């Protein structure tokens, strides 16, 4: 007879600034997910508060892409860079200053004054520039050749952000959309690169006997196609941009099918990543159709890529990578699974709101916003107490949750006298 004894979770240490600023994911996951809540809360329920130079729909587009999605990506890259190279890109006071630039930009864009807008522009440019330099220090010093493209891509997202903001100040709608598309495509290329690397690794470790391809060669073709799409998009060669964008999207869909998605349906921490990767591939194909003139509403491509792609990947990554780097078991609890389902429901309802007639799209949009806010609120409630404390295995006398097994053998009964 096998008797399983489960030890209680170890008591956490007190919050520590040193622990909070140890790796980039700790402050930037917290800030990015908080801003995901604020971005939807203000845009959906209190749009009248958006009175700054960067206001209205431009504020919403900018803050959801650069303020939320790309912020989470930067936090992930700061953390993954340490794993890839053995050199932590940024930590401690330098990381704190980087985060202060980010916070200053978020506040400045909400202040209805031109001077505040320019403060935000400078602060956010310093955030991306600081991030690109930090990643360069880690990657190039370690000569991690397979990651040489990361710092330039991070810098490209920062340049696209700056050009977007300048176009907003000038009121040039066409240039605004061009630079927004450039930033989104650059983020999509990085998301495909990272997710294509980590998803097979995560899946093969979590599901016993699962053997799936890493797609190194197709990943190179995918990366090249994505970069070509960005270049041709900037050159206004829409047909070629659409061709390469569709190529990158179809490769993503083929990859996720080859990863045997049915084998991970019982693992929420995996199927959420599969769903996000598939959503990103579908979004790129839809964006290609829009570029080629086959679809009239670019808003569809933006929301499929942003919500069904980036956001599903983000909620999966900010839980999985946080658990791993905090020294905790890679197991979901009911709160994490609730976050996954709420973001998925929010994505479905948001896309549905685009298709519904006017009397029905507003309540559907509000319901999608509520699901989104609750999802990231639950994430913050669940994870911030862990993010502000040291790793479990660094607490004196403590360690990760363990489940020792004790074997109790029952021998033969004694003879009856």
Angstrom distance (rounded) from CA 367 to CA 61? 19
| pLDDT the model gives residue 412 | 52
Smallest CA-to-CA distance from 222 within 195, 260, 262, 182 is with 195
**94 and 143: one domain?**
yes
Least confident among 11-15, 118-122, 295-299, 387-391: 11-15
159 and 193 together in one domain: no
DSSP code per residue over 72-94 = HHHHHHHHHHHHHHSS-SS-HHH
Is 410 domain-assigned?
no
H or E segment to which residue 122 belongs:
helix 114-141
Contact in structure between 322 and 386 (CB atoms under 8 Å): yes
Helix (H, G, I), strand (E, B) or coil at 109: coil
Tell me how many degrees the CA angle 297-300-306 measures, rounded to the nearest 5: 140
In a domain, 386, yes or no: no
**Domain shared by 132 and 193, yes or no:** no
Instruction: Find, among 311, 197, 209, 317, the residue nearest to 255 by Cα.
Output: 197
- Could you read off the pLDDT of 190-241 as tens digits, one per residue? 899 889 988 998 898 888 888 888 888 888 899 899 989 988 988 889 899 9
pLDDT at 414: 52
3-state secondary structure of 15: coil
Rounded to 5 degrees, what are φ and ψ at 3? -105, 120
> What pLDDT sits at residue 6?
38
Per DSSP, what are the bridge partners of residue 41? none
Examine residue 229 and state whether it is found in any structural domain, yes or no: yes
**Are 144 and 282 in a shared domain?**
no
pLDDT of residue 209: 84
Based on the fold, state whether residues 223 and 286 are members of the same structural domain: yes
Q: Is 60 in the same domain as 154?
A: yes
CB atoms within 10 A of CB 282: 19
Domain-terminating residue out of 144, 171, 198:
171
Beta bridge partners of 407: 2
Stretch 378-401: mean pLDDT: 77
Most confident of 298-302, 311-315, 360-364, 407-411: 311-315
Q: Per the domain annotation, does 246 fall within a domain? A: yes
Under a CB-based contact definition with an 8 Å cutoff, are residues 318 and 386 in contact? Answer: no
183-283-29 Cα angle (round to 5): 55
Rounded to whole angstroms, how far apart are CA atoms 124 and 245?
Answer: 28
Q: What is the percent of the chain with per-residue pLDDT over 90, rounded to a whole number?
A: 55
Question: pLDDT class for 376, splitting at 50, 70, 90?
Answer: very high
Residue 308 lies in a domain: yes
Domain boundary among 152, 171, 190: 171
Say if residue 67's pLDDT is above 60.
yes
270, 264 in Cβ contact below 8 A? yes
Residue at 228 is within a domain: yes
Token representation of residue 5: 């004894």
Kindly report the CA angle at 196 between 192 and 198, in degrees rounded to 5?
120
Q: Are 68 and 24 in contact (CB under 8 A)?
A: no
**97 pLDDT higher than 90:** yes
Q: Given this model, what pLDDT does residue 234 score?
A: 84
pLDDT score recorded for residue 398: 45
Give the chain's domain count.
2
Q: Are residues 96 and 235 in the same domain?
A: no
Show the tokens assigned to 308: 């069904």
Select from 346, 384, 401 the least CA-distant residue to 64: 346
pLDDT higher than threshold 50 for residue 263: yes
Identify the residue with better confidence: 392 or 250.
250
For residue 407, give the 3-state DSSP assignment: strand
pLDDT value of residue 136:
92
Q: Which residue has the higher pLDDT, 69 or 219?
A: 69
Is pLDDT above 90 for 64?
Answer: yes
Q: In the 8-state DSSP scheme, what is residue 396?
A: T
Q: How confident is residue 95, by pLDDT bands cut at 50, 70 and 90? A: very high
Read off the pLDDT of residues 304-319 as tens digits, 9 standing for 90 and up: 999 999 999 999 999 9
Q: Are residues 213 and 130 part of one domain?
A: no
What tokens does 353 get? 């709101």
Return d(Cα 244, Cα 231) in angstroms, integer. 10
Q: What pLDDT is recorded for position 345?
A: 96
Angle between the N-to-C axes of helices 70-85 and 173-206, in degrees from 0 to 180, rounded to the nearest 10: 50
**Encoding tokens for residue 117?**
């807008």
Chain mean position to CA 194:
10
Per-residue pLDDT band for 402 (boundaries 50, 70, 90) equals very low
CB-based burial, 210-223: b 16+ in 10 Å, e otherwise? bebeebeebbeebb
The per-residue pLDDT of the chain, averaged, comes to 87
Q: Does some domain include residue 55? A: yes
Domain that holds residue 62: 14-171
Which of 154, 171, 188 is where one domain is finished?
171
The one-character DSSP state at 241 is: H
Same domain? For 147 and 215 the reply is no
How far, in Å, are 174, 183, 185, 303 from residue 227 at the CA level?
21, 12, 9, 21
**pLDDT at residue 410 tops 80:** no
185 and 152 share one domain: no
329 has pLDDT over 70: yes
Contact call for residues 87 and 141 (beta carbons, < 8 A): yes
Q: Where are the alpha helices (DSSP H) in 207-333?
A: 216-234, 238-258, 268-291, 298-303, 312-325
**Pair 302, 184 in one domain:** yes
Q: Is the pLDDT of residue 356 over 60?
A: yes
Domain shared by 370 and 232, yes or no: yes
What Rg do the C-alpha atoms of the chain give, in angstroms?
A: 23
Please check whether residue 79 lies inside any domain of the structure: yes
Residue 405's pLDDT band, with cuts at 50, 70 and 90, is very low
Q: pLDDT above 70 covers what percent of the chain?
A: 91
């Amino acid at each position: 007879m096998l008797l399983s004894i489960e030890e209680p979770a170890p008591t956490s240490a007190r919050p520590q600034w040193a622990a909070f600023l140890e790796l980039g994911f700790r402050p930037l996951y917290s800030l990015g997910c908080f801003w995901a809540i604020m971005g939807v809360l203000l845009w959906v329920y209190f749009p009248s508060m958006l009175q700054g130079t960067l206001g209205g729909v431009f504020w919403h587009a900018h803050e959801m892409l650069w303020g939320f999605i790309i912020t989470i990506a930067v936090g992930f890259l700061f953390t993954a860079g340490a794993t890839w190279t053995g050199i932590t890109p940024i930590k401690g006071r330098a990381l704190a200053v980087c985060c202060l630039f980010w916070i200053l930009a978020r506040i400045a864009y909400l202040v209805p004054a031109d001077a505040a807008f320019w403060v935000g522009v400078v602060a956010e440019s310093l955030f991306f520039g600081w991030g690109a330099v930090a990643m360069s220090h880690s990657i190039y010093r370690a000569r991690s050749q397979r990651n040489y493209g990361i710092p330039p891509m991070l810098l490209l997202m920062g340049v696209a952000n700056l050009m977007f903001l300048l176009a907003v100040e000038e009121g040039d709608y066409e240039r605004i959309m061009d630079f927004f598309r450039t930033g989104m495509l650059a983020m999509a290329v990085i998301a495909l690169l990272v997710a294509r690397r980590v998803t097979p690794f995560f899946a093969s470790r979590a599901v016993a006997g699962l053997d799936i391809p890493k797609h190194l060669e197709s990943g190179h073709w995918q990366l090249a196609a994505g970069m070509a799409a960005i270049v041709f998009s900037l050159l206004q060669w829409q047909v070629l941009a659409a061709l390469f964008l569709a190529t990158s999207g179809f490769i993503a869909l083929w990859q996720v099918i080859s990863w045997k998605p049915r084998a991970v349906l019982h693992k929420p921490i995996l199927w959420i990543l599969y769903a996000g990767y598939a959503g990103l591939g579908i979004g790129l194909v839809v964006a290609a159709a829009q570029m080629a003139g086959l679809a009239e509403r670019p808003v569809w491509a933006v929301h499929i890529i942003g919500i069904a792609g980036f956001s599903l990947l983000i909620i999966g990554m900010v839980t999985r990578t946080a658990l791993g780097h905090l020294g905790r078991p890679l197991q979901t609890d009911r709160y994490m699974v609730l976050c996954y389902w709420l973001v998925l429901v929010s994505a479905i309802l948001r896309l549905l709101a685009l298709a519904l007639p006017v009397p029905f799209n507003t309540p559907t949009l509000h319901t999608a916003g509520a699901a989104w806010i609750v999802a990231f609120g639950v994430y913050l409630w669940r994870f911030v107490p862990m993010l502000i404390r040291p790793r479990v295995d660094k607490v004196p006398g403590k360690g990760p949750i363990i489940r020792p097994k004790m074997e109790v053998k029952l021998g033969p009964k004694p003879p009856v006298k």
